[in-house]
Amino acid sequence: MTNYLLLHGASSTGWIWHRVQAGLGAAGHRTVAPNLPCADLSAGLEEYTEVALQAAAAFGDEPVVVVAQSLAGMIAPVVASRRPAARIVLVAAMTPRPGESADGWAATTGQPAAQAALLAALGIPIESRFDTDLVFLHDLDPTLKAELVRHTVDQAARPTRDPCPITAWPSVPTHAIAAADDRFFPLEFMQRQTRDRLGIEPDTIPGGHLAVLSQAPALVERLLALEA
């Protein structure tokens, strides 16, 4: 049995992991998916990390697999350096360098330019780069999309500006999973930044930026394969 700490990205809640939790639970594993304080204007990366660590305390001192989506990549290495961790799995996630903020990550890696090029190829104007339906929900079925709306919160800016407090990436096995149809962190961009920053080749699953929700079975299959 493996313990999974599932960390969501910006503007959402732990609900986005419910399909992944069901799949991992059916395979005999334990999961927690805390609600990070996205709407709290005063909460920075330290507060996000504390919420994550408190949730992981449900497993005592047993190692956890830290699975982080999107913005949660900023705290995944912090969590893994502060408690026993079996591995880190980054799902369409940022990979910060020591002292780098999420905004700095985007600027340094060239994420805006990569996204602009993809959107142009799809005939989507760059002004729509944060359009919820076009960029984030395009691969969700109507039922999931309607449910997600009830679990969406306004994202405060502070966590994107706080520097990641690690001094080095922790000595924990790290894996990356990219989404083939991601319109926010395009596939080729994610492959490049993962190679450059972690020296690893990411796996690929179908789906867009919220593949944790739209393609949960594929993600569960990949997580179980890592266990094997």
Q: Give the model confidence (pLDDT) of 142-153 as tens digits.
A: 999 999 988 999
Q: What is the pLDDT of residue 211?
A: 97
- Is the Cβ–Cβ distance between 187 and 178 less than 8 Å? yes
Among residues 2, 6, 27, the alpha carbon closest in space to that of 90 is found at: 6
Region 71-76: mean pLDDT is 98
Q: How many CB atoms are located within 10 Å of the residue 197 CB?
A: 18
Helix 187-198 vs helix 102-109: angle between axes, to the nearest 10 degrees? 100
Report residue 138: phi and psi, to 5°. -65, -20
Q: What is the pLDDT of residue 149?
A: 87
CATH topology of domain 3-227: Rossmann fold (3.40.50)
Its pTM surpasses 0.85: yes
Count Cα neighbours of 10 within 13 Å in the Cβ-side half-sphere. Answer: 21
- Averaged pLDDT, 65-88: 98
- Residue 157 confidence (pLDDT) above 90: yes
